[in-house]
Amino acid sequence: MVSEHTDTVGDTSALALKILVAGGFGVGKTTLVGAVSEIRPLRTEELLSEAGQLVDCTDGVDQKVTTTVAMDFGRITIRSGLSLYLFGTPGQDRFWFLWDELAQGALGAVVLADTRRLEGCFPAVDYFEHRRIPFVVAVNCFTGARSYGAHDVSRALDLDRGTPVVLCDARDRDSGKEVLIRLVEYAGRMHTARLLDSVG
């Protein structure tokens, strides 16, 4: 979603971009949106139930007691005249039908990864690659997790050459903001290159 609106105070045109925050179950999507949002984030979390244990793998996230069932929503102003609207996707397989709706009009996506459960972000990587939506992989550096370099993660996920991998702390606003800036820059380059290809 790229939209423009007029600032009634300064009468200047402002740009609003739609960004998805995706990844596996319990990887930190809700935390990231909440950490960077300058407005009170909208959350659609529900308590994990015994019935859900039959379909949700909670290995490695034993302390998790809630889950996103629709989306998270937040907003951050990157600089004057540029705002990002953040849509956090649900992580479990049974909610993936919502992704197509959420992805419409998105400039790009952040795929959060946990190196202890790296396989959890494969579906998100496949989803965005298949739809040619620019994305960056943000490795959420959990306390106690073995640290890996960006190159190692890129190889493990078999990412297309040039897809950025950044290390972050989803709880830290500045760290999350850096991830979003990196995504906007990368997505901008990708969209410009495609536009030039289409007219070349």
pLDDT in tens, the chain (200 residues): 556 554 444 445 689 999 999 998 889 999 999 999 999 988 665 554 454 454 445 555 455 455 544 589 999 999 999 999 999 988 766 667 788 999 999 999 999 999 999 999 999 999 999 999 999 999 999 888 888 999 999 999 999 999 999 999 999 999 999 999 999 999 999 999 999 988 86
Whose tokens are 């620019």? That residue is 134
User: What pLDDT was estimated at residue 94?
Assistant: 63
User: What pLDDT was estimated at residue 64?
Assistant: 45
Distance separating alpha carbons of residues 150 and 145, to the nearest angstrom: 15
CB 71 within 8 A of CB 98: yes
Note the pLDDT tens digit of each residue in 97-109: 788 999 999 999 9
Question: Can you give the C-alpha Rg of the chain in angstroms?
Answer: 17
User: What pLDDT was estimated at residue 63?
Assistant: 55
Its pTM stands at: 0.81
Amino acid at 22: A
Note the pLDDT tens digit of each residue in 8-34: 444 456 899 999 999 988 899 999 999
Distance separating alpha carbons of residues 140 and 92, to the nearest angstrom: 18
Distance separating alpha carbons of residues 145 and 36, to the nearest angstrom: 23
